[in-house]
Structure 1
């Protein structure tokens, strides 16, 4: 076993881990970052394919509410490193940022690779060592870190360790939740998909005609909450930003009841009375498709959805179907297709500095912790903020020793 108490270890080279490493290094401590993959931040780079929505510009109190029951525990870390601080950090790395019409914040380059390259270069100047293809395998009997490498297993005992191994979504990118069995005495909530699509039993005709078609300028409602946005028809159901915003309560309802009914407003810009007046007119020999296109200005996919509902036995007037078309969701998509995951180390298992109460000197950050949030910049913001908070915790721990 190599005993080198002069350095801090970070396990995981995603946003939380790299931010923890930067924070520890800035406090004057040598840092080694270990990652199981051949290259760092693979999921971060994947997020860049969608433009890299780094954070959101809404007021901080509203921002924090997006974390639901986890908000009280995450709030101190996010308040200490809020969206404006993350924006400033990215711009210090040479990445000009802008705020879109939705309030989401992106780098002008609309991709992650330039930011990551600049970040890795700065970490190198700080003395941070990145060691790929090092997979954490738990602890030795005497408490050292077990790391699998291409050359065999090694054991290390750093002065402090940050776990930033991610959740369990998109496992092919490196984070598969396998670490959950390596933490004795620590409560870990089961992983569940978050920000995912849902399965709907489409007819063969509808599926073949509309798979991949976007649903634009719609509104979705469930359990008293309505979200405007967009979605996409998939071969197996529906996905997209508006769906993701409601994914947590929908997932829980399906787990409880076996299915959930999502209401789709195909014309949220028209009030029910105006729409009813338009659709109460006689069809005058027009087909249903032509009538809905002319009277309600519905695109083909929306007309197809109305026809799906009617063929399934819906008896509501056309105007009601257009304003509240029921979609029966049968199951959420799995972790392999989810943008993020719920579950992980329960928040009561870590103290205010994100140190595990059962393992002094061992900290955790990012999606390893049991929280979830919608897309829109909230996921990355919390990963960066908790990574920084854990890094500060390590610095204080090392100073105290």
Structure 2
């Protein structure tokens, strides 16, 4: 097979294909699902958050490499090399180049004016077709067969031997949309070292009492979550399964790795001001009614009743509960519910150009790699950036091989 093969038609794979095609090489994209970029489209259902408009240094702090810690990466290291820089400004320029008008919200998050992912994807696929990129859907990679890549296709089994390959198969979150990590044992058998895949940007499982059922689906606003030395003021939702939403996802790595979590139900008030709310005697009021008078917000009252036992007997104790309410949960939700996954191909298994050391001529990009990023535009930007980087490196590989 002449030219390049990209396996996976998500954001990383399509970006890799675009870079290779721009260099003048023929590109085929093989996608297991009936249509491309299904997870990308799912992300756009609630408003496609493309990136976060902030300085590169601040943006970089939201990328966590697979080292077991939460320190920001070396700006000269993986994903931030000068020739491969792809941050908020580049994402916005790329989207606008597809004819997509953007706006920046009050928090710095960048969205298409129409909020949808589908117009951007349609424009992108049209541009790729115009560049000669061939998309083959329902082509499911089945691993290696000798020196060939084995595919199950509508036309039967196909063995391909491309000049260069980019793998962009995603991690293991939302497997029904295509990212099922079936690739893991095939690469491991070839000597590629892989870190365990774990949920990222996921909710917490909570066994709520029956009294909480009336609050399922309710947003929790005006609180601050604390875990692992980090804080989040983001909104979250009480769901039947537990706690979900951006406020939780921002701390998901620390929570997943065992950090204790507390909830501040009055983050804009100091302890003395909160204590003053509880100075009026309870009298004959039920605990719930007394708390509703002191706190006001029925959702916060429900959380106090759920997690506040043993109940304090003085105003100072209630202020402490309000400011540091312990969160009782059963750990993170699984990969099938996570927005993304951590773990994957270890960075020491790759060259600086994202080529697999054990498999020369095969590059990897996106969530297959051992890194994670927060939602809010960071995850998508980094996926696009690694696809761009791997695509450029694959194009250079092709050019060198032909010389």
TM-score (norm 1): 0.93
1:398 aligns with 2:402: no
Q: What residue in structure 1 maps to residue 222 of structure 2? A: 217
Deviation of 1:102 (Å): 1.3
Between 55-64 and 66-75, report the one with greater CA deviation: 66-75
- Runs of at least 5 residues in structure 1 that lack an aligned partner in the other structure: 254-259
Give the equivalent residue in structure 1 for 2:133: 128
Aligned Cα root-mean-square deviation (Å): 1.6
SS at match of 1:279: coil
Cross-structure match for 1:147: 151
Aligned partner of 1:59 in structure 2 is 55
Partner of 1:360: 360
* Equivalent residues of 2:104, 2:111 under 8 A apart: yes
Any conservation in 2 of the 1:146–1:156 contact (CA below 8 Å)?
Answer: yes
In the alignment, the residues of structure 2 paired with residue 195 and residue 204 of structure 1 have an alpha-carbon distance, to the nearest angstrom, of 27
Higher alpha-carbon deviation: 34-43 or 280-289:
280-289
Which residues of 2 match residues 305-344 of structure 1 at below 5 A? Answer: 305-310=303-308, 312-315=309-312, 317-344=317-344
- Confirm or deny: 8 A CA contact 2:29 2:135 kept in the other structure: yes
Does the alignment pair 1:281 with 2:285? no
1:235 CA displacement: 1.4
Once the 2 structures are TM-superposed, how far is the Cα of residue 151 of structure 1 from its aligned partner? 2.1
Question: CA offset at residue 78 of structure 1?
Answer: 9.3
Give 2:113's match in structure 1, choosing from 108, 125, 140: 108
Residue by residue over 1:291-317, the C-alpha shift from the partner in whole angstroms, topping out at 9 and shown as x without a partner, is: 3333333x211111111124x424472
* Offset at residue 41 of structure 1 (A): 0.2
Structure 2 alignment gaps of length 5 or more: 67-72
Are 1:169 and 2:173 an aligned pair? yes
Q: Would the alpha carbon gap of residues 79 and 267 (structure 1) be closer, same or farther in structure 2, given more than 3 Å must change?
A: farther
| Equivalent position of 1:229 in the other structure | 234
Paired residue for 2:70?
A: none
Matches within 5 A, 1:1-400: 4=1, 6-69=2-65, 71-72=73-74, 73-76=78-81, 80-141=85-146, 143-183=147-187, 184-206=190-212, 208-253=213-258, 261-297=260-296, 299-310=297-308, 312-315=309-312, 317-400=317-400
State the secondary structure of the residue aligned to 2:122.
helix
| TM-score (norm. length: structure 2) | 0.93
Give the match's secondary structure for 2:344. Answer: strand
Tell me: CA distance 1:40–1:276, structure 2 relative to 1, closer, same or farther (3 Å): same
Per the alignment, in what secondary structure is the counterpart of residue 384 of structure 1? helix
